[in-house]
Amino acid sequence: MHCGDISEGLYNSKSQYYDSVFEFDTNHQANYIISNYPSIEGIKTYFITGNQDLTHIKKNGIDIGKLISAERDDLIYLGANRCTITIRNFDILMQHPKSKIAYTVSYKPQKFISSMRSEDKPDILLHGHWLHAEKMPFRGVEEFSVPGLVATTPRMMDEGIQNTTGAWFLNIFLNSKGELDKVLPRFIPYYVTDKNDYIKAKVLKLGGRK
C-alpha cells in the first residue's frame, strides 16, 4: 500500500526547486514511474495520490494516478487523498493528510482519530505525507504513520522537513468472523541513503511483467 505522492509533482519554472526534478511534465513523470516502480510477480500495489501528485491536476487537469494504473495492472489506483479498503470484516483507511507535522509526531494522528465518529473508525489507519514512522493504538484504531522512500531533497532541507526513510511490514491476523484480531508490525528503517537517490533508481523486476 502506497499512501500518496508517488510522483514529485510539477514545479513552476521560476521555482528554486525546478531543477531538483529530472522529469518536468506529467507524461514524463508518469512514464518514469511506469517503467521504474518495482514489479514483482504476485504482488500488487494499492495506492492513492497526495498533494504533490495533485499538482498535475491543478496545472493541466490530468490525474497521474489514472495514467500510471492504466499501464500497470499491478498498480491499483484508489483515488486522491484517502480510501478505505474492506477485507472481509475489517477496514484499512489510507490517508494522505494536508497538514504539516506538529511539534510531536503523535499529535496530528491522535487529533485525527479523535475527530472521527465511532461508526467511521477503521481498524487500521495508514497516514502518509508526514515522512516519519510512528505507530499508536488509540480509540480501538491501530494507526501507523508511513515514512518515505527517498533521500532528503533540497526542498526538505530548506524547509527543515524531517525525513524518515523505510517501510512498515504488517502481519494481520483475523478471527473466525473475519474481524481484526491483532496486528504484528515490523519497521524496516534505512539509516543511510544515497545522495540524490531519486535520480538514479535501480529497476527491480522479478518475474511476470516485462
- What predicted TM-score, i.e. pTM, was given to this entire model? 0.92
Percentage, residues of the chain above pLDDT 90 = 76
Q: Identify each DSSP E strand in the chain by its residue range.
A: 39-40, 45-49, 75-80, 82-87, 90-95, 124-127, 134-138, 141-145, 166-174, 180-189, 205-206
Q: What is the pLDDT of residues 93-147, one digit of tens each?
A: 999 998 877 778 889 999 999 999 999 999 999 999 999 999 999 999 999 999 9
User: Regarding the domain delimited by 18-206, which CATH topology (the fold level of the hierarchy) does it fall under?
Assistant: Purple Acid Phosphatase; chain A, domain 2 (3.60.21)
197: left (phi over 0), alpha (psi -120 to 50) or beta: alpha
Summarised one tens digit per residue, pLDDT across range 158-204 is 988 889 999 999 999 999 999 999 999 999 999 888 877 777 778 88
Q: How far apart are CA 56 and CA 26, in angstroms?
A: 6
Query: Structural domain boundaries of the chain?
Result: 18-206
Instruction: Tell me the average pLDDT across 27-48.
Output: 95
DSSP alpha helix (H) spans, the chain: 26-36, 55-60, 64-71, 107-114, 154-159
- Quick one: cell of 31? 512514464
β-pair type (134-138, 141-145): antiparallel
Query: With contact defined as beta carbons under 8 Å apart, do 64 and 51 qualify?
Result: no
**What is the average pLDDT value for the chain, to the nearest integer?**
92
Reference 37, options 209, 163, 188; nearest CA is 209
CA–chain centroid gap for 57, Å, is 18
What b/e string do you get for 146-166 counting C-beta neighbours within 10 Å, with b at 16 or more? bbbebbbbeebeeeebeebbe
210 pLDDT higher than 80: no
CB atoms within 10 A of CB 124: 21
